[in-house]
């Protein structure tokens, strides 16, 4: 039985730099897209017009923030399955049909994804180490079963969530500073980890970076990984402060 077509979506914020590279690759890799759309989180650049010029529908986020954009995108899905991609991910050529097959042709998984590896020395080695030694859910090249919010249940149940390590997409970061800025921004906007756990990861990071270096031989990881944990902690602290201010106003 052939695979069913499905909606494809992306959350964006000031993404005009990446979309001309990222969106055409998605269309090249996936031949059975039902509908493709972005939910834009109040971009101030040309993200919307670029997406429209490349054949994507554009919806504006109803309420500011990545988590709200993601929830809104799911509410717009019209098909039994869907896929989401991050705005700076260059999709692996073997993503389709490998990843949809894991969900559409089996009752075992409700969500499946490949891995994504950053394209910068130091962070590339850290990502490779993570995927080798841990179960990492990145949700940025992800295929979902929609029925009865199966995708939501699978996010809480690793038995229903598959990470395929033979499908390797490239995370476009460009430079060390861009990658660090991204880590800070994400944890400033969306932080589900406790400050204690982020602090513990920072304290452990110099020792773990040595372990990663020994395994991958990427010397820059000795600097990049502790810096990343520091920026993540800073982002997490800013997120807590922002939430505290919002709660005090309400």
Within 8 A by CB and 6+ apart from 219, the residues are 213
Q: Give the mean model confidence (pLDDT) for residues 211-238.
A: 93
Angle between helices 66-76 and 176-189 (to 10 degrees): 80
pLDDT tens figures, 97-111: 999 999 999 889 999
Tell me how far apart the 2 most distant CA atoms of the chain are, in Å. Answer: 55
Q: Give the mean model confidence (pLDDT) for residues 219-224.
A: 92
Domain map (residue ranges) of the chain: 6-171, 176-249
pLDDT value for 155: 78
Q: Region of 84 please: left (phi>0), alpha (psi -120 to 50) or beta.
A: beta
pLDDT value for 2: 82
pLDDT value for 66: 84
**Right CATH for 6-171 from 3.90.550.10, 2.40.50.140, 3.10.105.10, 3.40.50.300:** 3.90.550.10
Provide the b/e sequence for 4-41 (b: ≥16 CB within 10 Å): ebbbbbbbbbebbbbbeebbebbeebbeebebbbbbbb
pTM of the complete model: 0.87
| pLDDT greater than 80 at residue 199 | yes
pLDDT value for 247: 63
| pLDDT greater than 60 at residue 246 | no
pLDDT value for 19: 98
Provide the b/e sequence for 224-235 (b: ≥16 CB within 10 Å): bbbbbbbbbbbb
Distance CA 70, CA 68 (A): 5
| pLDDT greater than 60 at residue 4 | yes
| Band (167; pLDDT cuts 50, 70, 90) | very high
pLDDT tens figures, 18-76: 999 999 999 999 999 999 999 999 999 999 999 999 999 999 999 988 888 999 999 99
| pLDDT greater than 70 at residue 194 | yes
CA 243, 83, 141, 135 torsion-angle sign: positive
């Amino acid at each position: 039985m052939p695979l069913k077509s499905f909606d494809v979506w992306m959350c964006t914020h000031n993404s005009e730099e990446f979309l001309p590279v990222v969106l055409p690759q998605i269309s090249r890799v996936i031949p059975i897209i039902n509908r493709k759309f972005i939910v834009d989180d109040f971009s101030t650049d040309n993200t919307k017009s670029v997406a429209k010029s490349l054949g994507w529908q554009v919806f504006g986020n109803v309420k500011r923030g990545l988590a709200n954009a993601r929830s809104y995108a799911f509410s717009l899905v019209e098909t039994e399955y869907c896929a989401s991609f991050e705005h700076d991910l260059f999709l692996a050529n073997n993503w389709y049909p490998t990843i949809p097959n894991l969900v559409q042709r089996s009752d075992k998984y409700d969500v499946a994804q490949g891995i994504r590896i950053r394209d910068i020395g130091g962070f590339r080695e850290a990502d490779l180490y993570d995927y080798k030694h841990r179960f990492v859910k990145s949700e940025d090249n992800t295929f979902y079963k929609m029925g009865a919010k199966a995708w939501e249940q699978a996010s809480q149940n690793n038995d229903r969530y598959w990470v395929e390590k033979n499908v390797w997409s490239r995370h476009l970061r460009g430079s060390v500073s861009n990658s660090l800025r991204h880590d800070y921004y994400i944890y400033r906007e969306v932080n589900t980890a406790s400050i204690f756990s982020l602090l513990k990861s920072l304290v452990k990071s110099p020792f773990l970076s040595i372990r990663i270096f020994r395994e991958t031989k990427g010397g820059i990881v000795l600097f990049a990984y502790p810096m990343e944990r520091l920026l993540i902690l800073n982002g997490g602290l800013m997120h807590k402060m922002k939430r505290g201010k919002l709660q005090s106003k309400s």
